[in-house]
Structure 1
Amino acid sequence: MKDALKVYGPLALLALASIWLALSLIDPAPPRKITFASGGSGGAYYSLAQQYKQALSESDVEVEVLETRGSVENLDLLMAGEADVAFIQGGLAEPENREKLRSLAGMFHEPFWVFMREDVGADDFGDLSDVRLAIGPDGSGTRALALDLQETWGGDWTDKSRRSESGLAAASALKAGDLDAAAFSASIDAPYIEELLQTDGISLLPFERAPALARRTAALDEVTLYRGILDLENDVPAQDVPLIASVAQLAVDEALHPAIQSLLLEASENIHSGNSAFAPAGTFPDKSLIDMPLSSEAERYWKNGPSFLRNYFSFQVANFLERAWVFLIPLITLLIPLVRVAPPIYRWRVRRKIYVWYKDLRELEARGREATTNDQRDEVLTELSKLQKEVGELDVPLSYTEEVYHLRSHIAFVRQLVQGLYSREAGIPAVKTA
């Protein structure tokens, strides 16, 4: 055991040191916690962020969901490094955002609804420039998109056409006659959207030039609210309505760990790939409907899918192996010859414990042959007895016992030789010994 430890111990220490060095050089592990900027607690962004939180928790990644006022605040949080990932409404990114932030893909349509009282008599969005139009508060994606569209239509838009009511409050004010029109960037599932679609005296403004608007901005898309999609029996809506829709994209800080990005992309396929009122199943996620650069990890993912190891291992194990293999393969290549040389070294160490005695044995044989007196021969025989005793106490593995007995028989042979010289000097026949 001592010999094995002396041989294999240093090799084990070398292997552990090499593994420690390799692990210290590999890319850092992904964070165990990320921050997700969503939206208001009653909105689609917040609800979807909760689904991502649940999906990532299965891979032991904690997601802190931040309640925000919407896309503009989400952009600010990402730029300030206070959020790692966020939903961003398409069409809002500025050049400075595109330098620092990256998109994983467009995830779902977010129609731009403009409801108006029928007595307004507008046929086009530009006709609302001097009516009481609510476009949401500062920091909301609805307001940002509405202001962009007002600029696109041109003309003079009065302050009353840029009122800040939003959501349920704007819908209630519209029904009460306190507003002439209200704009919303919201899911069709929002309760006030469905209610307004079925309210007498309130009509949905169509965007007849939606295809042209979609061509102007990468993250805007033309969609159609099909006749009867909300209520076939009552024919709601009563006709197809062309709309413009921003595409909500999942944006991340450029420095977010690629493994976390990949995990978000895996979750996005389960969350957003289903059928919706505005897109058939499989339309989303869509890497083309974005207005920020696609992250390099997203490019790899949409080209090749999840990594090979991710198909067979959990996220944490797969990620470790993906980070470590670059160093572990050459490390294993280095350790193979070291492991192979260990057994010969071990055998040499054990045999050396036996063979080292042959030097003493040859010296004693030479002294015995050269001895000219009985006292000199007695001294050699005494040392041979000590040698025989010490060899008998050798601790070697059982498989090497035969070589120990060979040594002991050779010691006995030298003893017999010296005794024969002793007897011949005295004129006495030599006594054979075993």
Structure 2
Amino acid sequence: MITAAKDFLKIYWPLVLVAIGGLVLTLMLMDPAPPKTIRFAAGAPGGAYYAYAERYQRLLAEEDVTVELIQTAGSVENLRLLDEGQADVALVQGGLATRGDAEKLRSLGGLFHEPFWVFVRDETGATQYGQLRNKRLAIGPVGSGTRLLAIELQEEFDGVWPDAARNTLSGTAAAEALIAGQLDAAAFSASPDAPYVQTLLRAPGISLMPFERAEALSRRQPALAAVTLLRGVVDIGADLPAHDIPLVAPVAQLVVDKSMHPAIEALLVDAAAAVHQDGSLLARAGTFPDPDATDLPVSRQAERYYENGPSFLRRYFSFDVANFLDRAWILAIPLLTLLFPLVRAAPPIYRWRVRRKIYIWYKDLRDLEARGRSMPTKEERVAITDELEDLQAEIGELDVPLSYTDDLYRLRNHVEFVKHLVMNTRPTPGLGI
């Protein structure tokens, strides 16, 4: 095995050097590795955003990527943290992004309908959103997407509303206050799976307010879609809700900083498919993630994923290995292109080098033959044979592969032949080669 390795290196040592040099050059020039830690602006604990962020955290942990969750007041703060570089990824309510956001941020796709739920105590008698103007209405804290959407809709219904209709309670706290009678109504922009939404859908004395003009609102507010909470979809046995309820809903989207590493983007889109593709009470399975349900430019990596699915390497290798190969192949291809002709050229070059070690002695041999045959006396020819003996000894020390031994022994036979020729032929004055 050692001999075989030596023979291999004798033939291919230039290729080994080129390969090592190419590998070093590839490692130096290839794109940087993706980060092992990312910051996720996740909303408030207990909310749907935070629950989804925790699922992303678990999925990315399986690929050895740590997700640090940042508690926020909601979508508006999430956007601010992304703009300021204090977060790498966030869930953001559709319709909130500005033109400045579009220059810095990229969407990885819409993830789920986030209906604008308005729950009202039955005793208020309110059946339309505009009738809540003078009621105690909670619309979430400053910095939340729910609050911005609620205020936009308030402006659709008679302009600026009083402060009492802009209470800052949100989430579970708002739901508990509504059930306790401390509020007349509460608005939420949340997934149907949010625990407080499920609680209020079943709470006695509290009703979900329909938006009968949902289609009209969706035309006036491009970020909104008209959706329907179908009869019985919450609980078939309890016939909950008891009739179809029209709603308006923005689409929550996954947003990243424009400089996010493409490999992490692909990992996030892969996680988004796993988390959101099963559908919900408002959308069929396979509806999300949706690259068209966004108000920000979709990243190129996400577009490729939606068109072709996971990369070939990601289908068969772990994230780390696939990412390394994906970054290295661009430089590996020209390196392999260079190596192929070298591989073909190496054996002929090696044969020439080995044979040259043998054939180079023929020049000395022919010179000694010419000198020996031209010597007039036997003593002088004997001196030439001594030189031939020395030549024979030097040739005997040549180290050549076994496959070239016949050439070596042929040379040694020729030396013996010349010795015999010199000692047994008449001198030929003036002979020279």
TM-score by length of 1: 0.91
| Shift, 1:361, TM fit | 1.0
Report Cα offsets for 1:68-113 as digits up to 9, x if no partner.
Answer: 2221111111111122111101121122112211111111112211
- Residue 62 (1) aligns with residue 40 (2): no
| Shift, 1:311, TM fit | 2.9
The question of whether the paired residues in 2 share the 8 Å contact of 1:218 and 1:289 is answered with: no
Q: For residues 306 and 333 of structure 2, what CA distance do their matches in structure 1 show?
A: 28
Aligned counterpart, 1:160: 164
The question of whether the paired residues in 1 share the 8 Å contact of 2:76 and 2:96 is answered with: yes
Aligned counterpart, 2:51: 47
Q: For residues 382 and 57 of structure 1, what CA distance do their matches in structure 2 show?
A: 81
Q: For residues 144 and 425 of structure 2, what CA distance do their matches in structure 1 show?
A: 114
Aligned counterpart, 2:335: 331
**Paired AA for residue 230 in structure 1:** V
**Paired AA for residue 313 in structure 2:** L
- Equivalent of 1:253 in 232, 257, 267: 257
Q: For residues 81 and 385 of structure 1, what CA distance do their matches in structure 2 show?
A: 83
**Unaligned stretches of 5+ in structure 2?**
429-433
| Shift, 1:218, TM fit | 4.0
**Unaligned stretches of 5+ in structure 1?**
425-434
- Cα distance, 1:394–1:130 mapped onto 2, change above 3 Å: same
- Residue 134 (1) aligns with residue 152 (2): no
1:111-130 to 2 correspondence within 5 Å? 111-130=115-134
Report Cα offsets for 1:98-145 as digits up to 9, x if no partner.
Answer: 221111111111221112222323232122222221111112221121
- Residue 238 (1) aligns with residue 242 (2): yes
Aligned counterpart, 2:420: 416
**Paired AA for residue 414 in structure 1:** V
Q: For residues 305 and 189 of structure 1, what CA distance do their matches in structure 2 show?
A: 27
Report Cα offsets for 1:335-356 as digits up to 9, x if no partner.
Answer: 1111222112211221122112
- Equivalent of 2:190 in 186, 193, 196: 186
Q: For residues 60 and 307 of structure 1, what CA distance do their matches in structure 2 show?
A: 19
- Cα distance, 1:414–1:231 mapped onto 2, change above 3 Å: closer
For the residue of structure 1 that corresponds to 2:250, the secondary structure is strand
The question of whether the paired residues in 2 share the 8 Å contact of 1:3 and 1:350 is answered with: no
Q: For residues 396 and 177 of structure 2, what CA distance do their matches in structure 1 show?
A: 107
Bigger Cα displacement from structure 2, 103-112 vs 293-302? 293-302
Bigger Cα displacement from structure 2, 393-402 vs 296-305? 296-305
Aligned counterpart, 1:293: 297
Bigger Cα displacement from structure 2, 84-93 vs 126-135? 126-135
Q: For residues 225 and 385 of structure 1, what CA distance do their matches in structure 2 show?
A: 106
For the residue of structure 2 that corresponds to 1:139, the secondary structure is coil
- Residue 34 (1) aligns with residue 33 (2): no
Aligned counterpart, 2:396: 392
| Shift, 1:313, TM fit | 3.0
Aligned counterpart, 1:146: 150
Q: For residues 332 and 318 of structure 2, what CA distance do their matches in structure 1 show?
A: 19
The question of whether the paired residues in 2 share the 8 Å contact of 1:3 and 1:346 is answered with: no
Q: For residues 232 and 346 of structure 1, what CA distance do their matches in structure 2 show?
A: 81
- Cα distance, 1:421–1:249 mapped onto 2, change above 3 Å: same
- Cα distance, 1:163–1:214 mapped onto 2, change above 3 Å: same
**Paired AA for residue 194 in structure 1:** Q
- Cα distance, 1:107–1:409 mapped onto 2, change above 3 Å: same
Aligned counterpart, 1:267: 271
1:78-117 to 2 correspondence within 5 Å? 78-117=82-121
Q: For residues 114 and 358 of structure 1, what CA distance do their matches in structure 2 show?
A: 103
The question of whether the paired residues in 2 share the 8 Å contact of 1:225 and 1:242 is answered with: yes
- Residue 208 (1) aligns with residue 212 (2): yes
Bigger Cα displacement from structure 2, 218-227 vs 132-141? 218-227
The question of whether the paired residues in 2 share the 8 Å contact of 1:86 and 1:251 is answered with: yes
- Residue 199 (1) aligns with residue 203 (2): yes
| Shift, 1:362, TM fit | 1.0
The question of whether the paired residues in 2 share the 8 Å contact of 1:38 and 1:87 is answered with: yes
- Residue 318 (1) aligns with residue 322 (2): yes
The question of whether the paired residues in 1 share the 8 Å contact of 2:139 and 2:147 is answered with: yes
- Cα distance, 1:3–1:109 mapped onto 2, change above 3 Å: closer
The question of whether the paired residues in 1 share the 8 Å contact of 2:108 and 2:254 is answered with: yes
1:221-232 to 2 correspondence within 5 Å? 221-232=225-236
Aligned counterpart, 1:432: none
CA RMSD of aligned residues (A): 2.2
Q: For residues 3 and 291 of structure 1, what CA distance do their matches in structure 2 show?
A: 64
| Shift, 1:422, TM fit | 7.2
Aligned counterpart, 1:352: 356
1:364-379 to 2 correspondence within 5 Å? 364-379=368-383
Bigger Cα displacement from structure 2, 34-43 vs 118-127? 118-127
The question of whether the paired residues in 2 share the 8 Å contact of 1:259 and 1:319 is answered with: yes
Aligned counterpart, 1:429: none
- Kindly, what percent of the aligned residue pairs are identical? 60
The question of whether the paired residues in 2 share the 8 Å contact of 1:92 and 1:141 is answered with: yes
Report Cα offsets for 1:132-172 as digits up to 9, x if no partner.
Answer: 21111112221121122222334231111111111222222
The question of whether the paired residues in 2 share the 8 Å contact of 1:4 and 1:346 is answered with: no
For the residue of structure 1 that corresponds to 2:115, the secondary structure is strand
The question of whether the paired residues in 1 share the 8 Å contact of 2:46 and 2:172 is answered with: no
| Shift, 1:7, TM fit | 5.1
The question of whether the paired residues in 2 share the 8 Å contact of 1:220 and 1:289 is answered with: no
For the residue of structure 1 that corresponds to 2:360, the secondary structure is helix
The question of whether the paired residues in 2 share the 8 Å contact of 1:388 and 1:408 is answered with: yes
The question of whether the paired residues in 2 share the 8 Å contact of 1:57 and 1:63 is answered with: yes
| Shift, 1:365, TM fit | 0.7
Q: For residues 244 and 362 of structure 2, what CA distance do their matches in structure 1 show?
A: 105
**Paired AA for residue 143 in structure 2:** G
Q: For residues 58 and 199 of structure 1, what CA distance do their matches in structure 2 show?
A: 38
Aligned counterpart, 1:402: 406
For the residue of structure 2 that corresponds to 1:38, the secondary structure is strand
Report Cα offsets for 1:367-392 as digits up to 9, x if no partner.
Answer: 11111223321211111111122222
Q: For residues 197 and 11 of structure 1, what CA distance do their matches in structure 2 show?
A: 72
| Shift, 1:3, TM fit | 7.8
- Cα distance, 1:190–1:6 mapped onto 2, change above 3 Å: closer
For the residue of structure 2 that corresponds to 1:262, the secondary structure is helix
